[in-house]
Amino acid sequence: MIESFIGLEIHIQLLTKTKVFCNCKNEFTHVPNSHVCPVCMGYPGVLPVLNEEAVRKAYIVCRAMNCHLNEKAVFDRKNYFYPDMPKNYQISQFNSPFGVKGLIEMEGVPKVRIHDAHLEEDAGKLVHEGMTSYCDYNRAGTPLLEIVTEPDFKKPEEAELFMQNFRKMVRYLGVCDGNMEEGSMRCDVNVSVNFEGKGLGRKVEVKNLNSFRHVKLALQYEIQRQSRMITAGESVVQETRLWNDEKKRTEGMRSKENANDYRYFPEPDLPPYCPTKEFLAQIDAAQVELPWVRKRRFIDEYGLNEDGAEFLTEEKEKADFFENAVKGGISIANASSWMRGEVAKDLNKAKKSLGESFLTVEKFVTVIKLLESEKINAQAAKKVMDIIINEDADPMQVIEKNNLMQTADSGEVEAMVDKLLADNAKVVAQIKGGDQKPIGFLIGQLMKTSGGKADPKKARELILNKISQLG
C-alpha cells in the first residue's frame, strides 16, 4: 500500500487601502503602473514603512489559526533576481514570522498543523506578448500573507475541503476577498508518496493553482504519477511543477531551490515588530465564530439539515441575517426557506449580494410576519420581497399600494367566485360531469381577478362548494 502526504502553502492578498511598505493604493486596476512609487519600484535610497492595517489583518488570521504569536517578529530579505521584483529581493519573514505552530480543526479533514504564517510583499505581474514582455508593478508591494501547513493531509479531497473552508474563513474575518480567479487567494501544493509506514516521501511542489478544482486534480495526478514511479523502483525528483489544465497534467518547471539559495538576512530598514498587549486585545476582539463551527452550531441549535446550514453559513453576512431574522420572531423554517428560496432567487436575478441589496432584516421579518399571521399570502409575500430587494421601499407601503392584504371580507371573494362561475359555464359543467382538471384554471382566474388577495388554500374549497350548490 502507498500513502500520500500533502502540505499547502496558501497566499492571501490582504484587504488594505495601501500597499504594505508604501502609500500606493492597493487596488486592482487595468491601467498598468498607475499605482507605483519609488518605494515599490525599488529605487535606491528609499525606505519601507510598515502598514499597520496589513499587520493587524495578518495577526487576525494567525490568531484564528491558533498560532503562537512571536513576541518579536523579524522581517527578512529574500534575495532573487526576476523582473517582477525590481528591488531584486522580496521583504518577507523567515526565522521569526508573526505566527507559528497553529492548529486548525474542521470536520472532514484531519487536524491540520500550521507551520507558520508570514507577511510579505507581492511581486509585480509580467505580461508576455510574443517576443515582448511587459512589466506591471501595480501589484508589487501589495500585502500578502503566506500560510504554510504541515504535510497533514492524506487525500486530495481533504486539501480541497480545507481550502474551501479556509476561503470562507478569511472572508468571515474580512481580511481577504478570497477571489481565486483574480489571484487574491492562491495556493501551492506539496505532495509526496511512500510505501505505507515509511513516512514522508520526496516531495514535489505544484505552483500557482487558482481554483479548488485545480488543487484536487493536480494532487490526484501527482499521487498517481509518483505512485507509479516508486512502484517501478524509480525515485521521485524533488522539483517544482506547474498544472497544465488543457492537458490535465503537471509539468516540470524547475528544480527546487532551497532556502540557502535566497540568502535570507534580516531587513536592515525595518525594525522587528513587537505586538503590544493593547494591540493583541484588538486582535482578540476581531475574532469571529469560524464558518465550519457556525455551520455545526446551526445544525445543532436550529435543527437545520446539512445543506441548509451550508447555504446559510456560506457568507457571514447571510448567517448573521438568518440569526437576526429568527431573533426578530419569525420561524426558523420560514427564515431558512425564504432565504434559500425567493430571496436567493431575487438576489441572483439582480446579481447582488444580500448586503448590496435593499433588503434589511427588519423588512424581511415584517413581510414574513404578515405571511405567518395570514395577513398576506405567499404569492403576495413573493411580490413584496422582490420589490423591497430591488428598491428602497417600505414593505407596508408596497403592500398597501399594490392592495395585497388578504381580503378579510370573504363576501368579496364569494362575489368574485359567483361571477367567475357564471362567466365559465362550460368549465363548470365539465367539473360537474366529474372532470376535476379544470379546477386549477378556475383557481388561477380567481387569483388573477382578486389581484392575489384570495387565499389559494381556501379558494379550491370555496369553488367546489359553490359548484355543488349550483345544483
Q: Where do contacts with Zn ion occur on this chain (CB under 5 A)? A: 22, 24, 37, 39-40
Q: Which is nearer to ligand ADP, 237 or 422 (CB)?
A: 237
Cβ proximity of 220 and 254 under 8 Å: no
Cβ proximity of 407 and 446 under 8 Å: no
CB of 60 to Zn ion, least distance (A): 24
CB of 202 to ligand ADP, least distance (A): 7
Q: What track of x and - describes contact with ligand ADP for positions 54 through 93 (by CB under 6 A)? A: ----------------------------------------
Q: Is 10 in the site for ligand ADP (CB under 6 A)?
A: no
Cell digits for 237?
525528483
Site stretch for ligand ADP (CB under 6 A), options 196-204, 275-283, 359-367, 394-402: 196-204
Instruction: Pick one of ligand ADP, Zn ion, none as the site partner of residue 22 (Cβ within 5 to 8 A by kind).
Output: Zn ion
| Cell 505512485 belongs to residue | 227
Nearest-10 crossing angle of helices 212-231, 156-172: 150
Q: What are phi and psi of 221, to 5 degrees?
A: -65, -45
The count of other CB atoms within 10 Å of the CB of residue 354 is 19
Burial class (CB in 10 A: 0-12, 13-18, 19+), 42: middle
Q: Which is nearer to ligand ADP, 149 or 165 (CB)?
A: 149
Cell digits for 377?
399570502
Site stretch for ligand ADP (CB under 6 A), options 137-145, 148-156, 270-278, 295-303: 148-156
Q: Considering only residues 237 through 296, tell me which ones interact with ligand ADP, judged by CB under 6 A.
A: 256, 258-259
| Pairing, β 249-255 against β 89-92 | unpaired
* Identified binder of ligand ADP from the candidate list 109, 117, 148, 367, rule CB under 6 A: 148
* Identified binder of ligand ADP from the candidate list 7, 124, 308, 395, rule CB under 6 A: 7
Q: Please count the CA atoms within 13 angstroms of the CA of 442 that sit on its side-chain side.
A: 29
Instruction: Pick one of Zn ion, ligand ADP, none as the site partner of residue 62 (Cβ within 5 to 8 A by kind).
Output: none
Cβ proximity of 231 and 202 under 8 Å: no
Beta bridge partners of 241: 206, 252
Instruction: Pick one of Zn ion, ligand ADP, none as the site partner of residue 149 (Cβ within 5 to 8 A by kind).
Output: ligand ADP
Residues in the site for ligand ADP, rule: CB under 6 A?
Answer: 5, 7-9, 148-151, 190-192, 200-201, 203, 256, 258-259
